[in-house]
Amino acid sequence: MNRSRMRPGDGWVHVAGPVWEHAGGARVHIAGLVKLQGGRYLHANKWPECRDAERLIRVNGGNRKRGLMAWAMAHNA
């Protein structure tokens, strides 16, 4: 995977509480729910999706928010 896709990047704004939204349409809830631009949902606590989410959280220094943002961007591209 490209190193730039492992980082969340710019364009994220805080919506409310634990929810962040990207200018491209992706929405991330820190509990692990991701809504992609096309309306598809990803769950960071569901197998086998959790493998990719956990890997990107580790790549981002264990920061769950940044890891889930990077995961959303990797699927939204």
Contact 34, 12 (CB under 8 A): no
Number of helices (H) and strands (E) in the chain: give both, helices first. Answer: 2, 5
pLDDT of residue 76: 79
pLDDT of residue 1: 47
For 8-54, the pLDDT digits (tens) are 668 898 899 999 999 989 999 999 999 998 899 999 999 988 999 99
Residue 24 to residue 49: CA distance in whole angstroms = 21
In this prediction the pTM is 0.84
- For the chain, the distance separating the N- and C-terminal CA atoms, rounded to the nearest angstrom, is 13
Q: Residue 18: is the preceding peptide bond cis (ω within 30°)? A: no
Contact 18, 30 (CB under 8 A): yes
The domains of the chain are located at: 3-76
